[in-house]
Chain A
């Protein structure tokens, strides 16, 4: 911050980057910012050379003009393509880091891979600055929990714009496929850009409200990663993936209103310019803002979805919704709250969006419920295409290893509670990362083991000792234990420092491993006084091996 406590533009931009995709490393006094680019290349949009209308992918290859009176076929090569990882790294080196350096005294480094570039900002030489920055987000340390810093509300306009620029560079995406079926004066298709918000449920409404209150800008819609919004008719639930709804949230807006802002990542800015130029050329009269919300009539009601009570959804949104704006209200949208307070019946407003309606709430609720139940029944009984057998079959080895998890979970619960004389729980966590297991399946444990939030590791069985907030790991194998399997568990142990770690196989360990460990027992050590133990699981019994 500047001496008079105002946020300088460079700092505001950094706050935007952090809000979008930042992590704090409190012990290292460093900040990491993720720049995600799932696809190495993205293609721009194409226009028909004959009539100027939008041309989109044709079923038979190439591109076809959307103008029904033209229908001209074009070659796909007319589209510009952008190399995302390359442009991200170049923009960081040539534009973003030099800009940040003018206001922030830090060491900057870049790392990453084809799908993500990470900017690392090391503030060891200016720890006060690190503390200043983290204070804006305190007590949170990662982007899936960050809020927009309140201090921005009183910042200068330039700082507010830079904050949005930072947010756009990390969480903003301008893709050719996000257009809306709308007719304009000179053509068809209205392009949209979106903020992609990952696992953070309060940020979408905060961004929407920030853009309205600070810039008076419209938002087209918020596509929530909620079952009623992403899988309203239960097609995915019954046909493909029951939890397909569990994706990121998207806040969609029209680029022509965002002239005050810029991306510093060159490929994103180029795409943004293409989409903006298209919308300005086609000319749309309607602002197409979601606010005030559309009324929910009986025809807009949605079926009940089994995922509505999923633990991934925060309590305030863990229920049924018929429209996306109802989630906005549940997540604290101040504009909707204002409208609700003026409505004749606030409860009815919440389920209908009608500010004038003042009838018997329970009667309307009951009518809606009957319709939703009918929709649910229809979706459940709908004749659907036969599910193609999954091509991703588990190997025999995977199945045999999986069969070990249940007896090991029982053993580990008993072993840990006896050894440490306190209640212990053990779970099969092999299906995914430990942090997601806690977030999605055991929120109560996550409250105790909050430090596991950063552990994106996948041990087979994890024991939890709640009193001492300690973890314990088991890695299970059906092959003789060797250095390779030891190394794998060692990797997890280096990260999480469990109180116990056991490497178990249904077979005896290889003689070469025993030979090595007799000479070098230190290879089992992963922390001061903590060693991996070896064991076998035979006839349902775990036997420890003394080296």
Chain B
């Protein structure tokens, strides 16, 4: 699949997902495809978040949510790949998610996770180290089912997030 088409599909998916899952607790401010690094984005919401000027990276899709309880702005990061995901992409997202304290962090691919990494991630300790970026916060890895144009149910890692993502 063309990368830009995939990015747009993921943007639409994320928009729907956030509106369904967070409608009670958050307002979805925007879901967008950044053209520059977050530090340089001309976006009022981003500029209200502390330390944004050090965020010299560009996720493929960005969601901005406003917590209805305390009006705090929170980020959802999503990176995508059209090849099988390696530790590179996961380590990279771990840095971004830690830096921004993201509410959610996704890595998506049309080819899922590479066979090598898939086996590594089945080991609890390794998976926690690779995916965890804060207390109770894990990067969520998803595969994209091109035939049905949706997240593939059997691709979600960690397994504990499967229900949250597909139901």
Contact = CB atoms under 8 A, between A and B. Distances in A.
Given A111-B159, A456-B116, A490-B95, A516 B56 contact: yes
A112 B118 contact: yes
A117 B157 CA distance: 14
13 contacts: A23-B119, A109-B159, A116-B118, A487-B91, A487-B96, A488-B91, A491-B87, A491-B88, A491-B130, A495-B120, A495-B130, A510-B56, A516-B54
B119 A118 contact: yes
Contacts of A120: 122, 159
A25 B122 CA distance: 8
A113 B83 CA distance: 11
Given A28-B123, A491-B86, 12 more contacts: A111-B154, A111-B157, A112-B118, A113-B111, A113-B113, A113-B143, A114-B112, A494-B91, A494-B94, A495-B130, A516-B56, A519-B54
Contacts of A413: none
Interface string A113-130: 111111010000000000
Interface string B103-130: 0000000011111111110111110011
Contact residue range for chain A?
A: 35 or more
Interface stretch (A172-180, A254-262, A337-345, A478-486): A478-486
B49 interface: no
B107 to A, nearest CB: 11
Interface of A: 23, 25, 27-28, 30, 32, 34, 89, 109-118, 120, 433, 454, 456-457, 482-484, 486-492, 494-495, 497, 510, 512-513, 515-516, 519-520, 522-523, 526-527
B93 interface: yes
Nearest to A516: B54
A430 to B, nearest CB: 14
CB-based closest 6 A-B pairs: A491-B91, A113-B112, A491-B87, A487-B92, A512-B56, A456-B116
B99 to A, nearest CB: 6
Chain A facing B: main interface SS: mixed
B16 interface: no
Contacts of A495: 87, 120, 126, 129-130
A520 B124 CA distance: 27
Interface string B51-76: 10011110000000000000000000
B39 interface: yes
A48 to B, nearest CB: 34
Given A113-B111, A113-B113, A495-B129, A512 B39 contact: yes
Contacts of B162: 109
Contacts of B96: 483, 487
Contacts of B98: 520, 522-523
A111 B118 contact: yes
Contact of B87 (A27, A118, A457, A527): A457
Interface string B17-45: 00000000000000000000001000000
Contacts of A30: 122, 124
A513 B98 CA distance: 14
A115 B116 CA distance: 12
Given A118-B119, A523-B98, A513 B92 contact: no
A454 B120 contact: yes
A497 B120 CA distance: 13
A126 to B, nearest CB: 17
A127 B117 CA distance: 25
Nearest to B155: A111
A339 to B, nearest CB: 40
Contacts of B102: none
Contact of A492 (B54, B91, B125): B91
A254 to B, nearest CB: 31
Given A32-B122, A520-B99, A113 B84 contact: yes
Nearest to A32: B122
Contact of B124 (A27, A116, A523): A27
B111 A523 contact: no
B90 interface: yes
B155 A487 contact: no
A523 B162 CA distance: 28
